[in-house]
Amino acid sequence: MSKSEVLPSIIRILDKNTQERISAGEVVERPSSVVKELVENSLDAGARNVTVEIESAGRKLIRVADDGRGISASDISKVFLRHATSKIISYDDLFRLSTMGFRGEALFSISAVSEISVESAPAFPDGRRLPGAAIKSSYSEVSGPSPSSIAAGTIVEVVGLFANTPARLKFLKSSSTENSACIAAVQSLALANPATAFHMFSEGKKIFSLASARSTDERLAAVLKKDVFDRTVSFQAAHGEISVKGRVSEIDAFVASRSLQWVFANRRVVSSRAVSSAIYDAAREFMPRARHPVFTVFVEAPPSTIDANVSPTKREVKFADEAAVFSVVRSAVKSAFSSSGPVRYGFARGGGAFAISSDKRVAAYDAGVSSSGIRRREGDELSSGFFTSELANSRVKYIAGIFGYCLVAADEDNLYLIDAHAASERVLYEKYRIRETGAATQLLLAPVIVDLPPSVFADVSASLKALKSLGWKIEPFGESALKCEGTPAVLQDVNARAVLMAIFGAASVEPKSAPRASAITEEDIIKRSCREAIRGKEMPGFIEAQRLVNDLFSTQNYQTCPHGRPTLIKISSSELASKFRRT
C-alpha cells in the first residue's frame, strides 16, 4: 500500500443524540426502572409521603409526588444535566455513600427517552417557603425554568416513555407484567422506608396505601398481608462490622414464586448473590422442588465495604467480604428455621395409649393391635410399660393409620396427617447424619459384591473414605466392583446392594456432557441411603408409629424429608372449627 493510499475510517464518534439514548438504556430499562429512580430521589430528599401514579403500565404516564426538601429555583435548571447530583462531591464520596442515588444520571437518562417535567419548591424545618420553579425536557430538548405554583416538595411527570425509541417499546413485556414490576418497585422501597407513607395508583385506581409504620415488621405485615406474614420467622445476627436482620418463611410455608424476596444493603434495594445464595443454601435440605422461600434481608455494613457501582442500575452490589456476608446470613437463617419448630405440645391424658378428654367421656385406644385395626374403647383404663412411660410422655399422640401410608396424630391445638415414609426418611437421615463418635457398623453374614459401570467406578472409588466414615465396611473388588462386608448400624436391616446402587446409580446415568465431581458428597450418600432404606417398608404398628411420631417431632426440620418433600399436613383446631362453621 502506497503512502498516498488512505483507508476509509471505520471508527466514528457517535452523535450526541445517539450517545444519550444508549446511556439512557443502561439506566432506564423499563417503566419500573423510572419509577424506582424517581421514588429513590424522593426518599433521598427526606420525603414522608410519596404518591406514585402510572397509566398504561408506565408507558403513557409516570407521576411521582413527594413532600421532601424540594429543589431551589437556582438549582432546577441543572436537573437534566448529566452527572449533576447533590449526593456526592468527589470520587472519594463513592466509598461513603448513605443515599440511594448518587450518579446524577437518572433524570438525564429519563429525559432522553421521554417528555419529562419537574416542579419543585424548597421547604425548611422552620416553616419557611421559597417560590416554586418548573422545568421540562422533551426527548433531551430542555425548556425553562419557569415559575411554578407548587407549595412544597417535588412533582415529576414522565410522559410517552420510549416514544422516540420504538424498538425499545417492542421489547417491553405485557402491560400486566410491566404494571406488576412498577408495583413491586414501589413495594420494595416501601419496605426499606417504613416511616414514609406510600400511595400508589394505576389507571386512576388505588393499588395500595401504606401508612407510616413504626417498624420494618409492621410495614412487612402490611405488604405481605397477615396470612403470609404470620408464616414467617425473624432472624438477626452480626459479624464484625456486618449485621443482618430480617424475616424468612417457615420451612413448610415456601411459595411457588420468587416475587416475595427482598434484599437491602444499607436501606438500598439491591440484588446480592451472596445473600440469596446463603438463604437457599440454608433451606436446601428441606426445600421442595419448584418452591421458594419468602424473605426480607437487611444488611448493614460500612458504605466503604459495599460496591454499589457494579451495574449502571445500582441494583447488583458486591461486598468487600462476600464470604463473611454469606456465612452470617446462612447461619442466621438456619437458626430461624430451627426456631420455627417443633410445634407446641401437650394433651389431656387418660389411662390408655391415647386419650381425648371431654366433660362426659374419654376415648382411648389399645396399643396391642396394629394401626390398621385399632380398637376404640370408651372409659377403659389400660396399663403397660409403654403407656405409663414412653407414651405418657409423648407430646403428639398417634391415633390411627389410613390409606396405607398416612399416620393420623394430634396435640391439643392441631391435627397432623403424616406421610409415614417421608417421616421415616427424615428421622433416619437425622440419626445417620449426626454422629458424635465413629459410626457403628453392622457386619453382614456374607460379603455383598456390587458391580458398577466402569465409566463411574473412578468417581465411586473416590467416595470410599466418606462411606467408611459413615459406617460402611467396603473396599474395591476387581476392576469395577465393590465388596461390602458391613453396613451402618443406623440403617438396621437394609439391603446393602440396593442402597449402594441407589447411592452410585445416579452417577451412572448422568449425561456425558455434565461435569462430574471427583467424589459423591457425604450429604448425597446419606440422602440416597435413607431413601432406599425406607423404600417399600410397610406401615408401622401402633407402638412403632407412636415412636416414629416422637422421633419426627424431636428433629429440627420435621416438616420435610431430606429431599424437600413434606412430611406432614397440619390442620389447626381453629381451621377445623371454621370448616364446620363453628366460628
Three-state secondary structure call for residue 119: strand
Q: What is the pLDDT of residue 154?
A: 93
Rounded mean pLDDT for each run of 10 residues along the chain, 583 residues in total: 57 54 62 93 92 95 94 86 58 49 69 92 78 90 88 93 87 86 92 95 90 94 85 91 92 79 90 92 76 91 77 70 92 83 37 35 36 34 43 81 91 91 89 73 76 70 82 80 83 80 61 50 84 80 84 89 89 89 75
Q: Are 188 and 262 in contact (CB under 8 A)?
A: yes
- Smallest CA-to-CA distance from 83 within 105, 66, 61 is with 105
Burial of residue 92 (CB within 10 Å: 0-12, 13-18, 19+) is exposed
Three-state secondary structure call for residue 235: strand
216-339, what's its fold? Answer: Ribosomal Protein S5; domain 2 (3.30.230)
CA distance 24 to 193: 27
Three-state secondary structure call for residue 402: strand
Burial of residue 303 (CB within 10 Å: 0-12, 13-18, 19+) is middle
Helices 420-433 and 542-553 sit at what angle, rounded to 10 degrees? 60
- Smallest CA-to-CA distance from 196 within 120, 126, 267 is with 267
pLDDT digits (tens, 9 = 90+) for 135-156: 999 988 898 789 888 888 999 9
The full set of domain ranges for the chain reads 16-210, 216-339
CA distance 433 to 527: 9
Q: What is the pLDDT of residue 220?
A: 93
Burial of residue 526 (CB within 10 Å: 0-12, 13-18, 19+) is buried
Task: Pull the grid cell for residue 511.
Answer: 449425561
Q: How far is CA 409 from CA 177, 396, 401, 536, 557, in A?
A: 44, 7, 9, 22, 18
Q: What is 29-89 written as a DSSP string?
A: -SHHHHHHHHHHHHHHTT-SEEEEEEEGGGTSEEEEEE-S----TTTGGGTTSTT--SS-S
Strand 261-265, strand 295-300: pairing: parallel
Residue owning grid cell 449425561: 511
Q: What is the pLDDT of residue 436?
A: 57
Reported CATH class of domain 16-210: alpha beta
Q: What is the pLDDT of residue 583?
A: 65
Q: Are 246 and 232 in contact (CB under 8 A)?
A: no
pTM to 2 decimals?
Answer: 0.58
